[in-house]
Structure 1
Amino acid sequence: MHTVAVLALDGVLAFDLSTPVEVFGRARLPDGRAAYGVRVCAPVDEVDAGVVAIRAPWGMDALAGADTIVVPGLADPTAPIPEGVLAALRAAAEGGARVASICVGAFTLAAAGLLDGLRATTHWAAAGQLSRLYPEVDVDADVLYVDNGRVLTSAGAAAGLDLCLHMIRKDYGVAVAADAARVAVMPLERDGGQAQYIVHQQPGADGSSIEPLLRWMEENAHRSLNLREIAARATVSPRTLNRRFREQTGTTPLQWLRRSRIRRAQHLLETTGHPVERIAGEVGFGSPTSFRDLFKKLVGTSPRDYRLTFGGPPAR
């Protein structure tokens, strides 16, 4: 039987810990037998998990015999990890175990050196911090999970479900994974990535010098604005406008305008039943095709699937 060890450390996020326990623990083979043996392992007798305390049945030695090790996130992902734990993770990986993280559990794998030179993901809100602390890791904040073969990482908590189902599919095939997905009341595969869940702060919302211009651009985003018209509104040259925009928003005027239009489109998809073609025109796109292409690029999913996920009434 395939053995899954779930690592419980002080500060472990209970949701992250329970996800692999439940998904792998309830997976069944076609003949009804359990697909996995699940062990919760800890370096201490009692683990602080916030509102609860956990007594893990297994110690760290159980990692050595595991086929898969899952590392949940911690409430403080930058908290120091005992060297013994890091050494055990490295030894298990070197021994051939598959190692996966859920949410900010990627910080623990990075601390062990298991993500060096690899593409990885974590919760979008912590991706920047992961990049700064571990520059040797290629952090991708837009995806739900990354599979490097023997080392896997997933995004925010719910993406741990996606990753567990992905590993079941790799181990036993689509039928077993689909059954596990039904038990978890989850689709076997979700469209898009983290980008559709990220809340983007409005650039310049801190009262910067271009704030009035940003408000004007928001109000006129439905028009076919070009760089010269925007610069004229700001009474500066296009070159100066580009420089100020990069200094204060980190992007260009036209890129910011496109994101503003997409934000408006997301709002309309969430709150109205307007057809996608109408929304494309209302937010300033001359072509529904170009709108769909940019929406997919920036949000990570199609307008239709975004609406199905986040709610507006049926299109009429």
Structure 2
Amino acid sequence: MTSLDTLLTEATSGDRPVASAAVAMVSIDGDVVEAFAGVHTRAHGDGGVPPAPTSMDTRFDLASITKLFTAAALLVALDERGLRDHDLVADVLPEFRDGRARATTFADLLRHTAGWPAEWPDRVRDDGAWRRFRSAQPEATPGDRHRYSCVGYIWAGLAAEAVAGERLDAVVRRVILDPLGLQETGFAPEAALRGSIAATEVQPPRGLVHGKVHDETAWALGGIAGNAGLFGSAADLLRFAELLRRGGTTGSRRVLPEWVVEAMTTDRLPSAVGERPPYGQALGPRIADTAWMGSLAARGAIGHTGFTGTSLLTVPGGAHSVIILTNRVHPSRHGPDLGALRRRIADDAAHL
């Protein structure tokens, strides 16, 4: 077994480091048994700002881990209204009342079966961005196939807003962040926090992306979207992972209704759906994805990765949670893949 410190020190040094900043935590039964924070957050082209040491408080662009918070926020908002995941999106969003989209359920959005493409190609940030996005139509009939879709999750964020009657960042804050005490997590961080945030990519034509959402679509839509946009620390993310591991409770308080926990921790793909992935798909998390969960996949691990180099893994009803935060895309997205590193860390955690 190799220690977390050794694995990440090797990964963040040498001729081809995977990232310039890395923080990771492994917990068993809620107790942190390993933690790593190291290297420097380089800032290429950042106006001469010198590198800063990475610490356990460093915030990272969580990228698609945002989808887990969007899923939880939408499901809790549905519960507050007496609705369920099998209800129709058309009941709250008028854009879904015609054409193929009419049969779309909230579950379709959250399990990637709503027929939307993987990405939205129009990434021009102007006053008409949301209008153009909301005029799009799905490519396939809801329920026909599984296709991982950032577009579907942007719609899930809009659905959460419509159900709750408040902006997505406010819904996430009210139903997830505040109940868990997650003070280092949120959308659109203030400029004053930039020094505590790991820079991401040098991204033409934007230049260095630092303290702004890396995902081009979320950025074009203003930085608050259901697919990406959250920034957070490892400790905060571990608390969210533990919420899922512990069945939706923190201490003596229930944060997620029992049916929401079940929806987020069990495979929700219908048997007839086409193009099934090699992992289970809950409403939000993936289940037993051996490509990056290693031997913890066999224990029923759930979780999600983020393009920027982040991942959350936990075993519902089990013992382990693993958080890995890096800025893999700094200064370029063309660096080494993190799949092997994630598997090794998960494998070693399984033996603790």
Structure whose residues are more often helix by fraction: 1
User: Which fold has the larger relative contact order, with Cα–Cα distance below 8 Å and residues 6 or more apart in sequence?
Assistant: 2
**What TM-score results when the alignment is normalised by the length of structure 1?**
0.26
TM-score, normalised with respect to structure 2: 0.24
Q: Which structure is larger by alpha-carbon Rg, 1 or 2?
A: 1
